[in-house]
A and B are shown apart, each in its own frame.
Chain A
Amino acid sequence: MASLRDIRKRIRSVKNTRQITKAMKMVSAAKLRKAQDAILAARPYATMLDQIIADLSARSGDENLTHPLLAARPVKKVELVLLTSDRGLAGGFNSNVIRRANRFLYENTALESIRLATVGRKGNDFFRNRGQAIRKDFGGLYQRLNYRSAADVAGELVASYLNGEVDAVHIVYNEFVSAIAQKVTVTQLLPLQTLGAEGKAPPVEGATTLVDFKYEPDRQAVLNRLVPQAVNIKLYRALLESVASEHGARMSAMENATSNASDMIGSLTLTYNRTRQAVITKELMEIVSGAEALK
């Protein structure tokens, strides 16, 4: 049986761990709040952009809106972008993304090639350790995550789509459902599906009165700017969701760790007290029997 000193040491160590997990939980909660605010703040722009694109598509009548980023072509080469975090200790946050990415690889073996790109250290580490080629690692993006840096990444992806290196780009990430729930999602970033797949958006109220709607300089020029913007926004939002999910996942992981530590301290304390009592009893018995022997 462990000596009293050993148990005491153990309790102290678990208490220290609990202190750390508790602090990490608190930090994650604060970061989660910030990340959620960022999601909310990004919403008006995204909604309005969607609205403008929907309006544009509704007003276009029978004319087809064409843009290279909307045109789907036979898919042979695909790029999969993993959004993971730089740090671990976030429960299943990273492994869920990695597992989903692996499934994607197995399901699509018919394709000519699937390239991988990663945002976040964890996904990069995993595939590198398994000897899988990673085309590009967008490292350090989380340290300066803003719209501009997301747009740079999106621009890179768009360029490789436009020059024919890949025929489609998918992203796999944790969608933010709530502070304690994340949903791993695979979504197609390129070609953009906003206009193509869903067809024409239903006419918006008042759209009929806007027959002589004007565009400056002209409709195609506006579209040429709108579409890449929509791609940027889509990636930016996925990144924001991923960050919020990361903090949410870490918060609940640390919450669990803290309560596990508390349970452990409880049972260790019980053992400690029992052992202590046993030692006292043993000593008493020794004294009593020693005294008896002298009689």
Chain B
Amino acid sequence: MAKLTVEIVTPEKRILSVQADEAIVPGGLGLFGVRPGHTPFLSLMEPGPLTLIDAGRRESYFVAGGFVEVGNDKVLVLADAAEPVAGIDVEGARRRMAEAQERMKGLSAEDARFELEQATVRREAARIGAAGMPRG
């Protein structure tokens, strides 16, 4: 069976380039799965867990939003940041989330920074959630 080529890159470095049977990606409209032969498309990505399934083995990464392009059995994940779930610092994520929530209290909902802090909270919450994913 044909395999997918999955690449995860961040602005700072290439995280991963592997073959897999299936990829489950946190898309802009919810999780979606990609298998070989998938129709080409370009999607936004939300912070969340990205799972690769290869020969029955699951491996998860946390991605902090970005884009994903699917075409010709290639999945290009352009993430703002990414890390294997095993490496997630849950304590640090909790702390950052609490700090952002603290800062949000002093801001009105119209403030541009409010949205930024909200994005931080969402991202860290997703990171904590991703930490519970199968570790491959």
Residues of chain A whose beta carbon lies under 8 Å from any beta carbon of chain B? 38, 41-42, 44-46, 48-49, 52, 55-56, 146-148, 159, 206, 210, 212-217, 221-222, 225-226, 229, 232-233, 236
Contacts and interface: CB of A to CB of B under 8 A. Distances in A.
B11 interface: yes
Nearest to A155: B116
In the A-B complex, the 8 residue pairs with the closest CB atoms: A214-B41, A216-B43, A41-B13, A147-B11, A45-B9, A44-B9, A44-B14, A45-B11
Contacts of A226: 67
Contact of B29 (A55, A147, A159, A216): A216
A55 B71 CA distance: 12
Given A206-B72, A210-B71, A226-B67, A216 B27 contact: yes
Given A45-B9, A215-B43, 8 more contacts: A42-B12, A42-B13, A48-B69, A55-B42, A210-B40, A214-B42, A215-B41, A222-B43
B112 interface: yes
Contacts of A44: 7, 9, 14
A214 B10 CA distance: 23
B10 A217 contact: no
14 contacts: A45-B12, A45-B78, A46-B11, A48-B7, A48-B69, A48-B78, A146-B12, A147-B80, A213-B41, A214-B41, A216-B28, A222-B42, A225-B44, A236-B11
**Chain B interface, DSSP helix/strand/loop, else mixed:** strand
B53 interface: no
Contacts of A52: 42, 67, 69, 76, 78
Nearest to B71: A210
B10 A45 contact: yes
A206 B73 CA distance: 14
Nearest to A232: B11
A216 B41 contact: yes
Nearest to A49: B78
Contacts of A232: 11
A213 B72 CA distance: 12
A56 B44 contact: no
Q: Which residue, A45, A232, A233, has most C-beta atoms of chain B within 10 A?
A: A45
Contacts, number: 78
Interface string B103-133: 0000000001000000000000000000000
A98 to B, nearest CB: 28
A263 B36 CA distance: 67
B44 A41 contact: no
Contacts of B10: 45, 147
Contacts of B76: 48, 52
Nearest to A219: B42
A56 B71 CA distance: 13
A189 to B, nearest CB: 16
B28 A221 contact: yes
B17 to A, nearest CB: 9
Nearest to B112: A159
A147 B12 contact: yes
B67 A217 contact: no
A250 to B, nearest CB: 23
Contact of A216 (B9, B12, B44, B112): B44
Interface string B2-26: 0000010111111000000000000
Contact of B11 (A42, A55, A212): A42
B65 to A, nearest CB: 9
Q: Which residue, B29, B72, B76, has most C-beta atoms of chain A within 10 A?
A: B76
A267 B71 CA distance: 68
B7 to A, nearest CB: 8
A119 to B, nearest CB: 17
A225 B67 contact: yes
B44 to A, nearest CB: 6
Contacts of B43: 215-216, 222
A44 B82 CA distance: 15
